[in-house]
């Protein structure tokens, strides 16, 4: 935070710093998915500014056509030119996520109030991350004064709806129909977006920060591994910043052109701290075959977010890795007779082994291909099962014993019960006569 920032943003920035520090302590040395003994352990991709050099879609930017604007810095006002066709005078949305230098800031800028930019007309900034990330914070550094009202939204999945993340407004009830701050209870209530009026003053006129910590004030944050609600809450594939009401001194009502040209949105930096979402089963994200990022999954998991088990590792339900357990996917036990299995919850609950094998080879059957198919036999589990071939007419049952001997009807003999005993004849249905 530079010296032009007011003291009020220091508290959330400090809380954010402490929050990140705790996460770094907990997640330190989590870059390997296996420990020194080769045992699986939770692993996480690096913590980074996931917005850096990502393109941002702006619903409005100054410079097309070229326009004049004026900067208010205390009692003075200086006017300049915004021209999208001139790199020196352009303020397009790519400048939101470029390398930020406090000494020589670049910034994105909207058209001014002269062009009708004011409530109820919003300006939207949309950041597509290209994959699910677990977001820890979002920080905005404004080049002009902070808006009187703006909101942050997110998508949990790319095809999903926009969900409110946080509201900032000096008029929470009027603009967003939300109470100021509010109280969050443990459970489903923790996915509720709050509204605060702490960052909606017109001062400072330049350089003000807003930092949103996704877990601050959420009761289950200290039990994050067990909170499915918060795991979903921090997950985002896209972020949207809706700039809804410009801060003014009230002099815009006189419709003076210079005054109207001095009111606009301008942001010098958007930072988003987070990790590629891999559910604790990957230490890095890589370029996918079809574009975009995917997790480099370990622990026999697959999927863009390592969100399911490998097809032959279905012996227990998929689970997110935690600090206590890697929850690696376990291989199905198919006795070497199949390469396919499915997860069976009922079987898992009753036996503790949920992998039900499919397409068993060598005439085997059972959840683990552990027995012979009906009317087959073998002397050893290492051998393939062979057909019993018991004679239909001469056998009591078509199932033979482990040595392949069939149970014969009265007057019938032979290993397959296909021969009449001495004194009997005419083998047919019901045996020999």
DSSP β-bridge partners for residue 341: 357
Whether residue 20 is contained in a domain is answered as yes
The 8-class DSSP code of residue 361 comes to S
187 and 66 within one domain: yes
Whether residue 149 is contained in a domain is answered as yes
DSSP β-bridge partners for residue 58: 125
Averaged pLDDT for residues 248-261: 90
Whether residue 351 is contained in a domain is answered as no
Predicted pLDDT of residue 120 = 87
- Give residue-wise pLDDT tens across range 29-81: 456 899 999 999 999 999 999 999 899 999 999 999 999 999 877 666 789 99
- Give residue-wise pLDDT tens across range 382-397: 899 999 999 999 999 9
Q: Is the pLDDT of residue 2 over 50?
A: no
Whether residue 373 is contained in a domain is answered as no
Residue given tokens 């949309």 in the structure block: 126
Largest interatomic CA distance in the chain: 127
Predicted pLDDT of residue 373 = 96
Domain boundary among 276, 307, 326: 276
Of the candidates 142, 185, 148, the one whose C-alpha atom is nearest the C-alpha of residue 167 is 148
Which stretches within 221-299 are classed as H helix?
Answer: 228-233, 257-260
More confidently predicted of 103 and 255: 255
The burial of 304, by beta-carbon neighbours within 10 Å (0-12 exposed, 13-18 middle, 19 or more buried), is given as middle
Read off the tokens for 232: 């979903």
262 and 395 within one domain: no
The HSE-up count of residue 328 (CA atoms within 13 Å, CB side) is 16
Q: How far apart are CA 146 and CA 377, in angstroms?
A: 80
Find the domain containing 406 and state its range.
Answer: 388-433
* Helices and strands, counts by H and E, the chain: 4, 24
Averaged pLDDT for residues 297-314: 98
For the stretch 190-208, what's the b/e string if a residue is b when 16 or more beta carbons lie within 10 angstroms of its beta carbon?
bbebbbbbebbebebbbbb
C-alpha dihedral sign at 297, 301, 303, 307: negative
Under the banding of pLDDT at 50, 70 and 90, the label for residue 279 is very high
Ranges 67-76, 266-275, 325-334: which has the least confidence: 67-76
Residue given tokens 């689970």 in the structure block: 319
Q: How far apart are CA 62 and CA 87, in angstroms?
A: 13
253 and 125 within one domain: yes
Q: How far apart are CA 306 and CA 171, in angstroms?
A: 42
Q: What is the CATH number of the domain that holds 173?
A: 2.60.120.260
The 8-class DSSP code of residue 234 comes to T
Q: What's the whole-number average pLDDT of the chain?
A: 90
Q: Is the pLDDT of residue 338 over 60?
A: yes
Residues 6+ apart with CB under 8 A from 291: none
How do the residues of the chain divide into helix, strand and coil, expressed in percent and rounded to 5? 15, 30, 55
Q: What is the CATH number of the domain that holds 412?
A: 2.10.25.10
- Give residue-wise pLDDT tens across range 220-230: 999 999 999 99
What is the count of structural domains for the chain?
2
Domain boundary among 224, 245, 276: 276
Domain boundary among 235, 250, 276: 276
Other Cβ atoms closer than 10 A to 223: 10
Residues 6+ apart with CB under 8 A from 177: none
Predicted pLDDT of residue 31 = 66
Q: Is the pLDDT of residue 374 over 50?
A: yes
Whether residue 311 is contained in a domain is answered as no
Strand extents, DSSP E, 246-390: 264-276, 285-287, 293-295, 301-302, 308-309, 340-343, 355-358, 364-365, 371-372, 376-377, 386-387
Whether residue 300 is contained in a domain is answered as no
C-alpha pair distances (Å), 323 with each of 184, 224, 279, 281, 334: 26, 10, 12, 12, 31
The 8-class DSSP code of residue 45 comes to P
- Give residue-wise pLDDT tens across range 203-216: 999 999 999 999 99
Q: How far apart are CA 313 and CA 332, in angstroms?
A: 5
More confidently predicted of 11 and 408: 408
Q: How far apart are CA 373 and CA 201, in angstroms?
A: 77
Whether residue 282 is contained in a domain is answered as no
Helix (H, G, I), strand (E, B) or coil at 66: coil
Whether residue 379 is contained in a domain is answered as no
């Amino acid at each position: 935070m530079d010296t032009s920032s007011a003291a009020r943003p220091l508290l959330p920035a400090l809380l954010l710093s402490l929050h990140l520090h705790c996460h770094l302590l907990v997640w330190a040395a989590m870059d390997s998915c296996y420990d020194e003994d080769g045992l699986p352990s939770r692993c996480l991709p690096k913590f980074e500014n996931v917005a850096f050099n990502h393109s941002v879609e702006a619903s409005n930017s100054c410079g097309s056509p070229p326009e004049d604007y004026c900067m208010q810095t205390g009692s003075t006002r200086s006017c300049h030119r915004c021209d999208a066709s001139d790199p020196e005078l352009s303020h397009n949305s790519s400048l939101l996520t470029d390398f930020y230098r406090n000494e020589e800031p670049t910034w994105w800028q909207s058209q001014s109030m002269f062009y009708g930019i004011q409530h109820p007309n919003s300006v939207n900034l949309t950041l597509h991350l290209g994959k699910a990330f677990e977001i820890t914070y979002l920080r905005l550094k404004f080049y002009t004064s902070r808006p009187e009202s703006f909101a942050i939204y997110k998508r949990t999945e790319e095809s999903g709806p926009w969900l409110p993340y946080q509201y900032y407004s000096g008029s929470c009830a009027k603009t967003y129909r939300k109470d100021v701050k509010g109280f969050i209870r443990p459970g489903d209530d923790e996915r509720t977006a709050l509204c605060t009026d702490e960052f909606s003053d017109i001062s400072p006129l330049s350089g003000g920060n807003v930092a949103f910590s996704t877990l601050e004030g959420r009761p289950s944050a200290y039990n994050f591994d067990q909170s499915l609600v918060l795991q979903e809450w921090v997950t985002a594939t896209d972020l949207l910043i809706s700039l809804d009401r410009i801060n003014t001194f009230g002099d815009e009502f006189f419709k003076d052109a210079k005054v109207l040209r001095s009111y606009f949105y301008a942001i010098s930096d958007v930072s988003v701290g987070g990790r590629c979402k891999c559910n604790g089963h990957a230490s890095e994200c890589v370029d996918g075959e079809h574009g975009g990022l995917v997790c480099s999954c370990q622990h026999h998991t697959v999927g863009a977010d390592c969100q399911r088990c490998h097809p032959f590792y279905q012996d227990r339900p998929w689970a997110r890795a935690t600090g206590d357990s890697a929850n690696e996917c376990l291989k199905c036990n198919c006795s070497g007779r199949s390469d396919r299995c499915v997860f069976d919850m009922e079987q898992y609950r009753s036996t503790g082994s949920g992998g039900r094998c499919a397409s068993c080879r060598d005439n085997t059957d059972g959840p683990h291909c552990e027995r012979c198919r009906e009317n087959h036999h073998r002397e050893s589990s290492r051998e393939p099962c062979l057909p019993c071939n018991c004679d239909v007419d001469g056998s009591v049952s078509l199932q033979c014993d482990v040595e392949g001997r069939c149970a014969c009807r009265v007057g019938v003999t032979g290993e397959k019960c296909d021969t009449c005993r001495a004194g009997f004849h005419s083998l047919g249905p019901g045996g020999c006569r």
